[in-house]
A and B are shown apart, each in its own frame.
Chain A
Amino acid sequence: MTGAARARLYAILGLGYAFLYLPIAVLVVFSFNASPLLTEWSGFSLRWYVALLDNRRLVSAAALSIAIAAASASVATVLGAAAGLALARLRRFRGRGALGGALAALLVMPEILTGVTLLLLFVAAERVAGWPAERGALTVAIAHATFAMAYVATLVQARLADQDPALEEAAADLGARPADILRSVTLPLLAPALAAGWLLAFTLSIDDLVVASFVSGPGATTLPMLVFASVRLGLSPQVNALATLWILAVALALLVAVRLGGRRHD
């Protein structure tokens, strides 16, 4: 590659990052603006952060979203790990095509389709079986676990593909039984992928508006649903402050993840 070609390439890369980060940067900067307007800077202020914490509905929606995200991420991690293990380590089995195909379809399925069809299921199930009695946190968590497990399975499968399959055979050869192999070899090797998968599932859940709008009930308004209701009406400086906190949290989580990933050099 010539120097000029390399320079052009890096220029495009720089512009790409500028495109990705410009809107985020604007949000962060204006979250500290004293004025609610975006066109003028009228001085540094933390008033939107204070308003945010005073907003009782917002705080309770955030608490609900965090609870749903934690629960659905945990379920998605268990299901995704099982699916990823099956696909990566069990060579031939009945249902392999169905499992791999369903997970791939879930990865690309437009959220609105997942949302609307799941709602129809929950409504029909309530009518036929009386369960779930009402829609709310539980149905949202089930829906989120469903689409997030596809991401976890992908991460687990990729991680296992990088690991020597003889490791588990070596453990068996050295006297470990299947459950012991899983606990002492497979799971430690999967730990980074499971941690990343849980975090990803958590973020996907806490960020989801569309699916939750369908499958949630009147008593359970998640954070994105509340944010959506307020930004639909126009600019909302509190959302800027919320977004800034959110980005900070994600950046911290990623930093921890990279640290963890970097420490286990295998």
Chain B
Amino acid sequence: MSPLWPPGLRFLLIGLPLAWLAVFFALPFAMALAISFGAPSDGAPPFSLDAPGLAAWRLLVEDPIYADALLSSLGMAGMATAIAAVIGYPMAYAIARAPARWRGLLLVLVMLPFWTSFLVRIYAWTALLRPTGLINGALQALGLIEAPLQLMDNAFAVQLGLVYVYLPFMVLPLYASLEKLDPSLEEAAADLGARPAAIFATVTLPATLPGLAAGALLMFIPASAEFIVPEMLGGPDANLLGRAIWNEFFANRDWPAAAALAIAIVVLLAGPILLFQRLEARR
């Protein structure tokens, strides 16, 4: 043990955050697991653990609405992540290869939207996409369409919203790994006869795969249980996981079902989360 970090200081540095996380991160999930075996009741809080049972879990398995929400959530998050990767990779590449004095500004420009309100930015899209919104108004004024297009309250709008809000999460880790990549590696590949597509496939992409994976997970995991985007852009019929929890909780007041759903989502996301932890630990 290094003498620079005596036991008291070590105890403080490790113990303080670890204790906080145990109480306010690990314990809540244990609590949710316990409550998922309870039953809804009319009291306050609206659940009871007097007769523990599997009612909430049975509901999750038997009512197809949850499996449906799961599949469409994972599908939407996966698709949006793929689209963000296709847009984000060339953006990150362009920033990493831009003149050094511009890079800082270009990066700040990517981060700035992330620092401004998530809610307000999604609200801005409703202003653009609604039937009486700016895009339909412009298209009608130009005489390109007669009746407004249905641009929101559908799956397209949800994916657009997800790509929009999570794009910075994709670009930043990609930039970090591209910036570390020595440009002379690509030049060496070209010198050895590789064409641009081959250089990308054999040098650039393999070297930046950890960044791509980090960006994809950083986006996919939260996007798969996103609430605000489907709520604002998905229309009343969008049946997605984030909304399902919200509705169980606030509309149905079925706390055990909401707790069971939360636990089920964490278990389903455990694989990607563990993968992300491994990537972070290696960094």
A10 to B94, CA, bound (A): 6
**Most B Cβ at <10 Å: residue of A16, A24, A30, A178:** A16
* Structural contact, B17 and A83, CB atoms closer than 8 A: yes
* Structural contact, A100 and B120, CB atoms closer than 8 A: no
Contact with B along A89-112 (1 / 0, CB 8 A): 111010100111111111111111
Tell whether A51 is near chain B: CB-to-CB under 8 Å: no
Chain B residues 58 to 107 lying within 8 A of chain A, measured CB to CB, are 87-88, 90-91, 93-95, 97, 104, 106
Chain B residues 176 to 193 lying within 8 A of chain A, measured CB to CB, are none
16 contacts between A and B (CB under 8 A): A13-B91, A13-B94, A19-B87, A26-B127, A27-B127, A38-B133, A91-B2, A100-B277, A103-B21, A110-B222, A110-B242, A113-B225, A118-B28, A120-B31, A207-B118, A227-B123
**Most B Cβ at <10 Å: residue of A82, A86, A112, A121:** A112
* Structural contact, B104 and A26, CB atoms closer than 8 A: no
* Structural contact, B242 and A112, CB atoms closer than 8 A: yes
Which of the candidate stretches A42-50, A187-195, A250-258 sits at the interface with the other chain? A250-258
B→A interface (CB under 8 Å): 2-6, 9-10, 12-14, 16-18, 20-21, 24-29, 31-32, 35, 45, 87-88, 90-91, 93-95, 97, 104, 106, 108-113, 115-121, 123-128, 130, 132-134, 136-137, 164, 167-168, 171, 196, 217-218, 221-222, 224-228, 231-232, 242, 245-246, 249, 255, 258-259, 262, 265-266, 269, 272-273, 276-277, 280-281
A10 to B123, CA, bound (A): 29
* Structural contact, B18 and A95, CB atoms closer than 8 A: yes
Chain A residues 157 to 210 lying within 8 A of chain B, measured CB to CB, are 168-169, 172, 178-179, 181-182, 200, 203, 207, 209-210
User: Other CB < 8 Å A-B pairs besides A104-B280, A146-B21, 6 of them?
Assistant: A38-B133, A102-B21, A116-B262, A209-B119, A235-B127, A258-B104
The interface residues of chain A lying within 8 Å CB-to-CB of B18 are: 83, 95, 98-99
* Structural contact, A80 and B132, CB atoms closer than 8 A: no
Contact with B along A111-149 (1 / 0, CB 8 A): 111101110110110010000000000000011011001
**Most A Cβ at <10 Å: residue of B91, B109, B258:** B91
The interface residues of chain B lying within 8 Å CB-to-CB of A102 are: 21, 25-26
Other-chain contact of A110, B196, B226, B277 (Cβ < 8 Å): B226
Write the nearest CB–CB distance from A25 to chain B, whole angstroms: 9
Q: Given A86-B13, A181-B4, A207-B118: A108 and B232 within 8 A (CB)? A: no
Q: Given A30-B127, A79-B20, A90-B5: A120 and B35 within 8 A (CB)? A: yes
Q: Given A5-B196, A178-B5, A214-B249: A13 and B90 within 8 A (CB)? A: yes
Chain A residues 205 to 263 lying within 8 A of chain B, measured CB to CB, are 207, 209-210, 214, 224, 227-228, 231-232, 235, 239, 242-243, 246-247, 250-251, 253-254, 258
* Structural contact, B218 and A172, CB atoms closer than 8 A: no
Closest to B113 in A: A20
Other-chain contact of A146, B25, B117, B225, B228 (Cβ < 8 Å): B25
* Structural contact, B17 and A243, CB atoms closer than 8 A: no
* Structural contact, A82 and B17, CB atoms closer than 8 A: yes
Other-chain contact of A104, B5, B97, B196, B281 (Cβ < 8 Å): B281
A99 to B126, CA, bound (A): 40
A247 to B104, CA, bound (A): 19
Other-chain contact of A246, B120, B262, B273 (Cβ < 8 Å): B120
* Structural contact, A242 and B120, CB atoms closer than 8 A: yes
* Structural contact, B13 and A85, CB atoms closer than 8 A: yes
Q: How many residues of A contact B (CB 8 A)?
A: 93
A232 to B222, CA, bound (A): 22
The interface residues of chain A lying within 8 Å CB-to-CB of B108 are: 254, 258
Q: Given A38-B134, A100-B277, A102-B21: A24 and B127 within 8 A (CB)? A: no
A172 to B4, CA, bound (A): 7
A250 to B262, CA, bound (A): 33
* Structural contact, B120 and A227, CB atoms closer than 8 A: yes
A13 to B218, CA, bound (A): 21
Write the nearest CB–CB distance from B246 to chain A, whole angstroms: 7
* Structural contact, A121 and B132, CB atoms closer than 8 A: no
A107 to B16, CA, bound (A): 19
A30 to B127, CA, bound (A): 10
The interface residues of chain A lying within 8 Å CB-to-CB of B123 are: 27, 227, 231, 239, 243
Other-chain contact of A23, B26, B127, B246 (Cβ < 8 Å): B127
* Structural contact, B13 and A116, CB atoms closer than 8 A: no
Closest to A25 in B: B124
Ordered nearest first, which 10 A-B pairs have the shortest CB separation?
Answer: A110-B225, A23-B124, A39-B137, A117-B28, A83-B17, A108-B221, A13-B94, A121-B28, A104-B277, A104-B280
The interface residues of chain A lying within 8 Å CB-to-CB of B90 are: 9, 12-13, 16
